[in-house]
Amino acid sequence: MTKIYGLIQSKLIDGLNVELFTHTPVLKIERSAFGKPNWMVHTSRGKFESKYVVHATNAYASYLLPQLRVNHQQIIVPTRAQVIAVQPKSSNRSRVWTSGFSANEGYDYLFQRPFRPSDKRSADPRNPVVILGGGRNHAPPQFEVGIGDDSRLNGQVGTYLRSFLPQWFPSYYGDLDNGDVVHEWPGIMGFTKDHDPIVGHLVENGSQVEGQFIAAGYSGHGMSRAPGCAEVVASMIFSELMSEKWSVPDWFPTHYLTVRP
Per-residue pLDDT reduced to its tens digit, 95-133:
778 888 899 888 899 999 876 655 455 456 667 889 999
Alpha-carbon distance of 87 to 122, in angstroms, equals 10
173 vs 201, residue with greater confidence: 201
pLDDT score for 124: 61
pLDDT score for 161: 96
Q: What is the largest CA-CA distance in the chain?
A: 68
Alpha-carbon distance of 62 to 214, in angstroms, equals 11
Band (pLDDT 50/70/90 cuts) for residue 186 is very high
Q: For 202, how many CA atoms within 13 A lie in the half-sphere containing its CB?
A: 21
Amino acid, single-letter form, for residue 251: W
Domain boundaries, the chain: 2-76+195-256, 79-191
Band (pLDDT 50/70/90 cuts) for residue 143 is very high
Q: Are 193 and 79 in contact (CB under 8 A)?
A: no
pLDDT score for 117: 54
Q: Are 80 and 184 in contact (CB under 8 A)?
A: no
Band (pLDDT 50/70/90 cuts) for residue 45 is very high
Output the CA torsion sign for 122, 125, 127, 131. positive
pLDDT score for 13: 78
Residue 94 has pLDDT above 70, yes or no: no
pLDDT score for 3: 82
What pTM was estimated for this model as a whole? 0.86
- Report, as an integer, the average pLDDT of 28-53: 91
pLDDT score for 2: 79
Residue 93 has pLDDT above 80, yes or no: no
Alpha-carbon distance of 175 to 180, in angstroms, equals 10
Distance from the first to the final alpha carbon of the chain: 31
Residue 252 has pLDDT above 60, yes or no: yes
116 vs 32, residue with greater confidence: 32
Q: Which residues of 130-169 are buried (b: 16+ CB within 10 A; e: fewer)?
A: bbbbbbbebbeeebbeebeeeeeebeebbebbbebbeeeb
Residue 41 has pLDDT above 70, yes or no: yes
Alpha-carbon distance of 183 to 217, in angstroms, equals 26
How many CB atoms sit inside 10 A of residue 225's CB?
A: 19
3-state secondary structure of 189: strand
pLDDT score for 127: 72
pLDDT score for 171: 83
The CATH number of the structural domain formed by 2-76+195-256 is: 3.50.50.60
pLDDT score for 183: 94
Alpha-carbon distance of 151 to 153, in angstroms, equals 7
Query: How far lies 135's CA from each of 88, 98, 110, 138, in Å?
Result: 21, 23, 12, 5
pLDDT 10s digits, 210-242: 999 999 999 999 999 999 999 999 999 999 999
Output the CA torsion sign for 95, 96, 98, 102. positive
**Chain mean pLDDT for the chain:** 89
3-state secondary structure of 215: strand
- Report, as an integer, the average pLDDT of 6-14: 83
